[in-house]
């Protein structure tokens, strides 16, 4: 009975000891790489599988290399065996751009790609990117913001009479702004283009980027009366923005 009891104690001791020692599949412990506090981990902490970091290890960021054993059954590099988990609303997925014959690789991908507005009034392409910035969700969808003219009409300097003229303008905002063109002639004439002038064409379309609108004003054959200031006006419910270019006709 005494011998059996001693054997049981020995087995219990070995089980306890082995459970507290990092597995042989773990890399060499380097406590300098351990987070000092939870504030260093945007996506939070998780228990360190290898027992190196007492506070735990950071959940992984988007596009950061991860390790999911369902993809890798035989890994020789112990540095890749460190237990790692993607952050909230992310999954560890195989990269699809790895060429045939190359070593497979996996990264954390965001599961929630909805455009999101943070409490900092910045629009993020996904909820994951919002968390990376360290802010909180205000609402799903873009933040309301006044228009900003991202591409102004460039001064064409002096244009010969009867030549063609084309001016373009791009603006971004939410709600997506509308663009109108205004003209201020040298003789004091002020009007919104195209008005009733059949020689002036205004074309507007969405893009080229999200929440952006582009517009052009075109004149097929310049006249002396076309000289003056051309004003691109971008407007939405949050405000208005203007850009001016001057056209001289010789």
Q: pLDDT digits over 149-163, tens only?
A: 999 998 777 899 999
pLDDT band at 114 (very low <50, low <70, confident <90, very high): very high
Domain assignment of residue 117, yes or no: yes
Q: Are residues 92 and 49 in the same domain?
A: yes
> Which residues form the domain of 77?
33-110
Residues 87 and 129 in one domain: no
Rounded average pLDDT over 78-84: 52
Q: Please, are residues 247 and 154 in contact by the beta-carbon 8 Å criterion?
A: no
Total tally of structural domains belonging to the chain: 3
pTM: 0.66
Q: In what order do the strands lie in the sheet with 200-206?
A: 145-151, 165-174, 212-219, 200-206
Same structural domain for residues 76 and 161?
A: no
Residue 98: the pLDDT is 76
Does residue 9 sit within a domain?
no
Residue 250 scores a pLDDT above 70? yes
**CB distance 158 to 165 below 8 Å:** no
Which are the contacts of 166, defined by CB distance < 8 A and separation ≥ 6?
216, 217, 218
User: Do the domain assignments include residue 27?
Assistant: no
Q: Is residue 18 part of a domain?
A: no
Asked if 201 and 221 count as a contact pair (C-beta separation under 8 A), the reply is: no
Q: Do residues 153 and 138 both lie within one domain?
A: no
- Res 74: pLDDT: 52
Instruction: Tell whether 8 is covered by a domain.
Output: no
pLDDT at 124 over 60: yes
Same domain flag for 241 and 173? yes
17-26, 188-197, 229-238: least confidently modelled range: 17-26
Q: Is the pLDDT of residue 19 over 60?
A: no
Question: Residue 85 falls within a domain, yes or no?
Answer: yes
Task: Give residue 112's pLDDT band: very low, low, confident or very high (50, 70, 90).
Answer: confident
For residues 187 and 67, which has the higher predicted lDDT (pLDDT)?
187
Residue 20 has pLDDT above 80, yes or no: no
Please report whether residue 5 resides in a domain. Answer: no
Nearest to 214 by CA among 147, 148, 151, 146: 151
Examine residue 1 and state whether it is found in any structural domain, yes or no.
Answer: no
Residues 54 and 64 in one domain: yes
Angle at 188 between CA 184 and CA 189, to 5 degrees: 60
Domain of 172, CATH number, reads 2.60.40.10
pLDDT tens per residue, range 228-244: 999 999 999 999 999 99
**Percent of the chain at pLDDT above 70?**
83
Write down the pLDDT at residue 23. Answer: 47
Least confidently predicted of 2-6, 25-29, 142-146: 2-6
pLDDT digits (tens, 9 = 90+) for 45-71: 888 878 888 888 899 999 888 876 565
**Are residues 231 and 153 both part of a single domain?**
yes
Q: Among 110, 131, 163, identify where a domain stops.
A: 110
Tell me what pLDDT residue 105 has: 79
């Amino acid at each position: 009975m005494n011998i059996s009891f001693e054997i049981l104690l020995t087995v219990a001791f070995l089980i306890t000891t082995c459970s507290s020692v990092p597995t042989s599949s773990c890399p060499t412990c380097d406590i300098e790489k351990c987070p000092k506090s939870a504030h260093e981990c945007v996506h939070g902490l998780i228990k360190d599988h290898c027992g190196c970091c007492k506070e735990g290890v950071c959940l992984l960021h988007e596009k950061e290399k991860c390790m999911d054993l369902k993809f890798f059954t035989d890994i020789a590099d112990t540095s890749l065996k460190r237990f790692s988990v993607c952050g909230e609303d992310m999954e560890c997925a195989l990269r699809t751009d790895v060429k045939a014959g190359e070593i497979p690789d996996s990264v954390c991908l965001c599961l929630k790609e909805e455009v999101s507005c943070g409490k900092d009034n910045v629009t993020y392409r996904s909820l994951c990117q919002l968390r990376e910035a360290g802010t909180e969700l205000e609402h799903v969808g873009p933040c309301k913001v006044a228009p900003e003219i991202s591409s102004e009409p460039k001064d064409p300097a002096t244009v010969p009479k009867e030549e063609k003229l084309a001016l373009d303008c791009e603006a971004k905002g939410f709600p997506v702004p509308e663009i109108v063109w205004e003209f201020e002639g040298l003789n004091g004439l002020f009007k919104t283009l195209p008005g009733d002038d059949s020689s002036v064409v205004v074309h507007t379309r969405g893009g080229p980027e999200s929440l952006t609108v582009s517009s052009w004003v075109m004149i097929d054959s310049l006249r002396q009366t076309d000289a003056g200031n051309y004003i691109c006006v971008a407007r939405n419910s949050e405000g208005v923005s203007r850009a001016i270019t001057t056209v001289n006709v010789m």
